[in-house]
Each structure stands twice: as structure tokens, then as C-alpha cells.
């Protein structure tokens, strides 16, 4: 009998867990949405009357009405995307805080990347030109100075070594 209960214990724990969790989620769906829930969606929409003011920050009567509609839709169980689609169908894409990624709107996403990439290239090239004097420098035509320098002959090396011995021995 005890052995039988040991095998059934994980299933019993699982059933008790579900019994504790499922009623809580069912009750949460029936509750009224909070102001934070409404403002989370309103933050992604713009005021229909004022230019460039998010719906959650605007105090006009139209915005109050829109926030009421959002609250009603959330109470009915609509998702945030469904609510935004509702307002886009009513008023067009201009009500969205972030333009949809289609058609000409891609310019708003691509131009900053191009500017950022171009700035990175300019910085990289600028840092290449501002190297300290101890390093190789490029000539105006882009060729390295190292290619123009000739390798010292064994005779030149011998003379330099002799001169160094004279100087170090004389001191």
C-alpha cells in the first residue's frame, strides 16, 4: 500500500498544484483592468487631437474617451495588439507611436542604421589618421612608408655597431 502511494505522490502533487493555480487565473480574467494596464497600451498610441503626444500623457477629452475604450476592450478580453489594430482601423497608422514596418515606413528604421554605420566608418578612418608619430604613417597616395625604405646593408650595420662600441667604450 505504501509503495503504491509513493508512485502516485507526484501525480497528486501535480493535481493539487493545478487546483491551486487555475482558479486564480480564472478570477484574474474577470477583474477590471488597472490604470497601469490601460496606460501600457495608451503609451503606444498617439492622441488623435494633439500632435506627437502619447495617449497616456494627454489630458484632452478625446484621450480620456480613448482610454475608456481601451479599458472596455481589456475588460472584454481583447489583447493589446487587437486594441491597437482597432484604433488603426478607425484612424489610420498615424495613431501608432511606432510606425508599422511596411512600405515607406521602413525608411524610419533604415536611416538611423545607415547614419550610425557611416559615423562608425568616419570615426575608424579618423582614428587611423591620428596615430602617434612612432608608428608608420601613410603617404598622400596611400602607400606605406615602409615600402619606400630600403633595408640596411651589412656594411651599414657593421659601421653602426663599431660606432656604438666606440661610444660605449669611451664613456
Task: Give the C-alpha separation, 43 to 71, whole Å.
Answer: 13
Task: Give the C-alpha separation, 58 to 49, whole Å.
Answer: 10
Output the average pLDDT for the chain.
Answer: 76
Domain extents for the chain? 31-97, 101-128
Question: What nine digits make up the cell of 50?
Answer: 494633439
pLDDT tens across 124-138, in order?
A: 888 888 876 545 555
Q: Which CATH number fits domain 31-97: 1.10.8.640, 1.20.1740.10, 2.60.40.10, 3.40.50.970?
A: 1.10.8.640
pLDDT tens across 6-38, in order?
A: 666 566 556 555 566 555 444 445 568 888 888
pLDDT tens across 148-164, in order?
A: 677 889 999 999 999 99
Buried b (16+ CB within 10 A) or exposed e, 129-163: eeeeeeeeeeeeeeeeeeeeeeeeeeeeeeeeeee
The whole-number pLDDT of residue 4 equals 56
Amino acid at each position: 500500500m505504501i509503495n503504491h502511494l509513493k508512485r502516485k505522490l507526484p501525480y497528486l502533487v501535480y493535481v493539487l498544484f493545478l487546483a491551486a493555480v487555475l482558479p486564480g487565473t480564472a478570477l484574474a480574467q474577470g477583474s477590471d483592468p488597472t490604470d497601469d494596464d490601460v496606460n501600457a497600451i495608451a503609451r503606444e498610441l498617439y492622441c488623435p487631437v494633439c500632435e506627437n503626444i502619447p495617449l497616456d500623457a494627454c489630458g484632452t477629452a478625446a484621450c480620456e474617451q480613448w482610454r475608456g475604450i481601451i479599458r472596455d476592450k481589456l475588460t472584454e478580453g481583447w489583447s493589446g495588439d487587437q486594441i491597437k489594430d482597432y484604433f488603426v482601423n478607425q484612424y489610420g497608422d498615424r495613431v501608432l507611436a511606432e510606425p508599422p514596418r511596411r512600405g515607406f515606413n521602413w525608411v524610419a528604421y533604415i536611416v538611423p542604421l545607415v547614419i550610425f554605420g557611416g559615423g562608425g566608418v568616419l570615426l575608424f578612418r579618423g582614428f587611423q589618421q591620428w596615430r602617434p608619430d612612432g608608428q608608420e604613417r601613410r603617404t598622400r597616395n596611400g602607400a606605406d612608408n615602409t615600402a619606400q625604405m630600403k633595408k640596411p646593408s651589412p656594411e651599414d650595420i657593421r659601421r653602426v655597431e663599431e660606432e656604438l662600441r666606440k661610444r660605449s667604450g669611451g664613456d
